[in-house]
Amino acid sequence: MLKVYRNLKGYIPHICAIVVLIFIQVLTDLYLPTLMSDIVNTGIMKNDVSFIIHEGGLMLGVAGIGIACAILASLIGSRVSIGLGSILRSKIFRQIERFSLREFDQFGSSTLVTRTTNDIVQIQTVTVLIINMMLRAPLTAIGGIILAYRQDSSLTLIFAVALPALVIVVALIMTRAIPLFKKVQGKLDKINLVLRENLTGIRVIRAFNRINHEEKRFDTASNDLTSTYIRVNQIMAFLMPVLMLLMNAMQIAIIWFGSTRVDTGSLNIGALSAFIQYASLILINFIMMSMMFIFIPRAQAAAERVTEVLEVKPDIVDPESPQKSVTGNGYLEFRNVSFRYNGAERSALTGVSFLAKPGETTAIIGSTGSGKSTLANLIPRFYDVENGEILIDGVDIRKMTQENLRSRIGFVPQKAILFTGTIKDNMRYGRENATDEEIIHAAQVAQASDFVGEMKNGYDTLLSEGGLNLSGGQKQRLSIARALVRRPEIYVFDDSFSALDFKTDAKLRAALSNETENSTVLIVAQRVGTVMSADRIIVLDEGTVAGIGKHEELMKTCEVYREIVSSQLSEEELA
């Protein structure tokens, strides 16, 4: 919690202002009962109307100042806590942007979303409370006790009974309620999970007729949350009546013992009425303080979740003295590279070595799960190698800045991702200053110009969220065009042709070979047809290199490759 509040540095003047305002407000709160006692003693008892009007006006004025201070303090307080929220949100966002994929895997995207939204809202809400109560409640309570003591010291003994009773009641209720409050958070997470799975899996759920099942699952989670909430509220419902009872009992006690003292003449009525008011002030502020104890643990949990994200040291960082890219053409080399995913038992890649030269096409083939995408993801440093090294033009990629490294790579991921915006906007993700001609040319090479031309607004057509209004193959072609716009030294195509029919696949690769004449091209594929004509084929088998060579060589020497080829040929012949 404290770590989170370190972000409030820029708000120190605001906080000072709040402290002053609250201080004034506490003083007015404490002053009012004294004025009241004067009115009772001098005005009412002696029937002095002008004194009542004069003193009453003063009371109104003092109360007005108090109210103004309270309103101003809570306005500034809201501004501070909202400011804190926005600082935290942008910090988390920036931090997540720097995460390597390893750190993403570690958290999972759904909790990163709740941490950026829900948890920060929790912190914000509690901060408002803390700002308003932290100072006001104890100051008023202590001031009240002192002033009450000055009115009548023996009546103060009543507090010695009432306050411990109050603490016990609140403690009893809280020890039951706080664990339930914590459970509520977990159950909310559960509902979020079910909901999210439903939204992303809607097609599967419909296709497999699982709607009823999903409804039940949601109802279970929802009922669970409801019943916990009801139990929390049943317990909390006790709080107010019990506290009111205590307060009234205390006032009766004060009047009871106070009136005997008035009879004997050792206490005047004004002092008694002031005393009663102090007593309620003290009690109310004790209640406020105990309320804070409910909310702080909830915010504490949220703050821990937020700092957990903020304190991750991203393991992929730029070197202190980065090596400038020596002039080269994108000569890519893997030297004995091994890699293992977080918590995985088996290495995803073991001792992979190969060369990919500019002007040549290097293909990687292997069955699903053989580590092809893993290998592709290592090149732009989405993950760092565990052993060995990856070199571009003889420089270890860990010695370059990430920006420099990635500017040299045109990466087409296995899952085509497009962003909300026009097709042109999406193409300019490849290179911001690309001209319209370059974009159109790239689309032609990627065999995307035909279907884009058929769209009503051509290249200015708006793509909805992630390109929902496109087919898988269309998205793949646009994402290939986006990499082409970049004109990088190294192209990495991770299974980027899988959603294309054989004819488009062949046409695209033919057009591509002209375009990428001087670049290093790495094509990951599962289809033999896609890789057959490559200058070099690397066969991956369970993370190890089973063979490297041209198609004809591998047919002779590599058993794994022969198996892949024969399985696919028979499939195609059957088709």
Quote the distance between the C-alpha of residue 166 and its chain's center. Answer: 39
The one among 136, 187, 305, 372 contacting ligand ADP by CB under 6 A: 372
109 binds ligand ADP (CB under 6 A): no
140 binds Mg ion (CB under 5 A): no
Stretch that binds Mg ion, among 13-21, 135-143, 379-387, 413-421 (CB under 5 A): 413-421
CA distances from 20 to 143, 239, 418 (A): 16, 32, 53
Beta-carbon contacts of 563 under 8 Å, excluding residues fewer than 6 positions away, are: none
- Here the tokens at position 438 are 């370059």
Amino acid 336 reads N
Stretch that binds Mg ion, among 224-232, 367-375, 393-401, 452-460 (CB under 5 A): 367-375
Smallest distance, ligand ADP to C-beta of residue 562, A? 19
Residues 215, 218, 220, 226, CA torsion sign: negative
Smallest distance, ligand ADP to C-beta of residue 373, A? 3
The one among 344, 465, 556, 573 contacting ligand ADP by CB under 6 A: 344
* Partner interacting with residue 370 (select from Mg ion, ligand ADP, none; CB below 5-8 Å by kind): ligand ADP
Buried b (16+ CB within 10 A) or exposed e, 47-86: eeeeebeebeeebeebeeebeebbebbbebbeebbebbbe
368 binds ligand ADP (CB under 6 A): yes
The one among 26, 120, 294, 348 contacting ligand ADP by CB under 6 A: 348
Measured CA to CA, the distance from residue 339 to residue 356 in angstroms comes to: 19
132 binds ligand ADP (CB under 6 A): no
Interior angle at CA 281, CA 276 and CA 283, nearest 5: 95
Q: Strand, coil or helix: what is 430?
A: coil
Restricting to residues 47-106, name those near ligand ADP by CB under 6 A. Answer: 105
370 binds Mg ion (CB under 5 A): no
State the Cα torsion 399-401-405-411 to the nearest 10°: 120
Question: Which residue, 373 or 504, is less far from ligand ADP as judged by CB?
Answer: 373
Restricting to residues 223-282, name those near ligand ADP by CB under 6 A. Answer: none
Measured CA to CA, the distance from residue 271 to residue 38 in angstroms comes to: 8
108 binds ligand ADP (CB under 6 A): no
Stretch that binds ligand ADP, among 13-21, 311-319, 362-370, 499-507 (CB under 6 A): 362-370
The number of residues that bind Mg ion (CB under 5 A) is: 3
- Here the tokens at position 559 are 């058993």
Contact 300, 131 (CB under 8 A): no
Stretch that binds Mg ion, among 158-166, 175-183, 349-357, 407-415 (CB under 5 A): 407-415
Contact footprint for ligand ADP (CB under 6 A): 105, 341, 344, 348, 366, 368-374
Which residues contribute to the site for Mg ion (CB under 5 A)?
Answer: 372-373, 414
